[in-house]
Chain A
């Protein structure tokens, strides 16, 4: 899993030209993903998590979105240097995509079978009948019952969970090396969510597929992703093995996200913590850490100078954080000052700033 990366994103920036000026949607993010790895990418709406994957796939919307700098190396080849047609050829075949809300991301006037076999015929060169057979096999593989009958159904005839499976089937039908799954479970019931995640996990293992799993749901990455990346205001705040990011959290933003999740067993009346303030205006980003204004641990340096991603001190060597402050140290200092209670069994509680709720 730790051989040469399948995908290497280097200092990628994306800008949207709006009527009210340029919005810096993605700001110099770098990471790499090993073959067969699932990288979970979390962040709130507008954090650039979806947009940067559209930039990877070459699907940024029209002339108003523009990659301003960086490289995207896919199997050593810079995708951004390719012609639009070369990038098109990679889509579907090498880079598959699954989108949020298959109610709207499937074509309402084409049968499910036609939408899957279309890719098989046009991209894999299969004959019509072979494509139809293969489409049924793939539907079966993603857990659609009675796949042959479903081929002739239109999207509106299927349930949300089935549609998402069809969406995944379309994403993987040409057996891509990289699957970009953009909020694949957001529109689904919790039980169906778990099934879909298990499916992605299984396909990743069986097909040796690499997955970028984009979500705002921390529970989803915790269950599925090998590594987790946290984005805020178009920047990478923290990235590392999922267990390390969740239990040895080093970014105050990640911590804020974790704190805003309900704790199982805490009852209905628990008060969820919320981050004070709101995300920065992407058209006028501060020069320093964009989260600094909302971060009680931010130092003056965080406010002035953007921190680079660095290995976390005294933690997992594959765990990186963009912060000038040291979260565990800042905590220790705060606990010493306030003498607040510490729950060593719940690391989220331990790291939570006392009195800031």
Chain B
């Protein structure tokens, strides 16, 4: 188990290094950042000052090594735009994203798994079709459409909820609903099919033959088995959450990671974008690792030590 974890961690570091390198190269391929950062009218002396300050006068290899040297020390650099420490900027945005994202994830898991289980139990009935129709709708309407529609109805027409910002808990409701609805829709479809598989499995008949109550048969025997495939989607959703829901955060002006990413990219704020890319990559890697660990915990047939299955 610990050998497995160690292997996975080494691989994660390698992945992060690759991601950081690709970002490093990509941003230098995308044109001279100075042309965007500084106005065209900037005088050559100021320009030279910034070139030196940000290290663009050094050879590429040195820039690259310096970047990783700083990274290894936990120094993510300063924002080109505000001059503040990138760490501080991210530290401001991350809690907002985690609050919104994890709450949305919890909501979409409860709603999605619940709806999927109910649909499976009432397979082929009006209930099943209703749940599946709702899930198709929720899944296929893009976040920015749903977000704007919610703003229009609740903030503009009825004026019951704020449209943007993060001042009070009420500000969280609309972005939360927007993120959770598509997540719940996706999870509901997976949960339904996983549950149908489990409900038709021979071990379920065995459980009924013991004379167990239907509630226990469904929850303890069927759902427990159905959780294994459901966790796979949870991994995707978790990665999505840690990356910050860029579109939704932008629509609702929620000061989180996703919105920061969009703004920094537009401003060519290289240090911030690099740091965020690494953070999001790390989030996805961590989510995958969490899913794999959850498999091992949920399914005794999966052995994480790589030994006898």
Interface residues of A, Cβ cutoff 8 Å to B: 57, 59, 88-93, 96-97, 99, 101, 104-111, 118-119, 122-123, 154, 156, 167, 170-171
Q: Which residue of B lies closest to A154 (CB)?
A: B300
Q: Which 5 A-B pairs have the closest CB atoms?
A: A92-B211, A91-B211, A97-B209, A105-B202, A154-B300
What are 10 A-to-B residue pairs whose CB atoms are below 8 Å? A96-B209, A99-B209, A104-B203, A108-B299, A109-B299, A110-B221, A118-B210, A154-B300, A156-B309, A167-B206
Interface residue from B203, B216, B224 paired with A105 (Cβ < 8 Å):
B203
Bound-state Cα–Cα, A109 to B227, Å: 11
Interface residue from B203, B206, B212, B214 paired with A122 (Cβ < 8 Å):
B212
Bound-state Cα–Cα, A90 to B225, Å: 26
- B51 interface hit (Cβ, 8 Å): no
Bound-state Cα–Cα, A73 to B205, Å: 22
Q: Which residues of B contact A109 (CB under 8 A)?
A: 224-225, 228, 298-300
Q: Which residues of A contact B206 (CB under 8 A)?
A: 97, 99, 105-107, 167, 170
Q: Which residues of A contact B201 (CB under 8 A)?
A: 104
**Given A104-B201, A104-B202, A109-B225, are A156 and B210 neighbors across the interface (CB < 8 Å)?**
no
**Given A92-B210, A118-B210, A119-B211, are A108 and B205 neighbors across the interface (CB < 8 Å)?**
no
- B7 interface hit (Cβ, 8 Å): no
Bound-state Cα–Cα, A107 to B222, Å: 9
Bound-state Cα–Cα, A108 to B228, Å: 11
Interface residue from B202, B210, B221, B224 paired with A170 (Cβ < 8 Å):
B210
Contact flags (1/0) for B214-238 with A, using CB distance below 8 Å?
1010000100110010000000000
A108 touches B203 (CB 8 A): yes
B203 touches A91 (CB 8 A): no
- B213 interface hit (Cβ, 8 Å): yes
A107 touches B210 (CB 8 A): no
Total A-B residue pairs with C-beta atoms closer than 8 Å? 78
Q: Which residues of A contact B127 (CB under 8 A)?
A: none
A88, A104, A156, A170 — most chain B CB neighbours (10 Å): A88
Give the secondary structure class of B's interface.
helix
Contact flags (1/0) for B76-101 with A, using CB distance below 8 Å?
00000000000000000000000000
Known: A88-B208, A91-B210, A108-B300. 5 other contacts (CB 8 A): A104-B202, A109-B298, A122-B211, A122-B213, A123-B210
Q: Which residue of A lies closest to B206 (CB)?
A: A105
Bound-state Cα–Cα, A229 to B214, Å: 33
Q: Which residue of B lies closest to A156 (CB)?
A: B301
B210 touches A57 (CB 8 A): no
Q: Which residue of B lies closest to A101 (CB)?
A: B202
- B207 interface hit (Cβ, 8 Å): yes
Q: Looking at the assembled complex, report how far the CB atom of A175 sits from the nearest CB atom of chain B, in whole angstroms.
A: 13
Bound-state Cα–Cα, A104 to B205, Å: 10
Q: Looking at the assembled complex, report how far the CB atom of A97 sits from the nearest CB atom of chain B, in whole angstroms.
A: 4
B209 touches A92 (CB 8 A): yes
Q: Looking at the assembled complex, report how far the CB atom of A88 sits from the nearest CB atom of chain B, in whole angstroms.
A: 5
Q: Looking at the assembled complex, report how far the CB atom of A244 sits from the nearest CB atom of chain B, in whole angstroms.
A: 32
Q: Which residue of B lies closest to A90 (CB)?
A: B211
Bound-state Cα–Cα, A122 to B213, Å: 9
B301 touches A107 (CB 8 A): no
Q: Which residues of A contact B301 (CB under 8 A)?
A: 108, 154, 156
A101, A106, A107 — most chain B CB neighbours (10 Å): A107
Bound-state Cα–Cα, A118 to B208, Å: 12
Q: Looking at the assembled complex, report how far the CB atom of A49 sits from the nearest CB atom of chain B, in whole angstroms.
A: 16
A91 touches B216 (CB 8 A): no
A59 touches B205 (CB 8 A): yes
Bound-state Cα–Cα, A154 to B309, Å: 11
Q: Which residue of A lies closest to B207 (CB)?
A: A107
Q: Which residue of B lies closest to A62 (CB)?
A: B123
Bound-state Cα–Cα, A96 to B209, Å: 7
A88 touches B213 (CB 8 A): yes
Q: Which residue of B lies closest to A100 (CB)?
A: B202
Bound-state Cα–Cα, A91 to B207, Å: 10
B298 touches A123 (CB 8 A): no
Q: Which residues of B contact A123 (CB under 8 A)?
A: 210-211
Q: Looking at the assembled complex, report how far the CB atom of A131 sits from the nearest CB atom of chain B, in whole angstroms.
A: 13
Bound-state Cα–Cα, A92 to B213, Å: 12
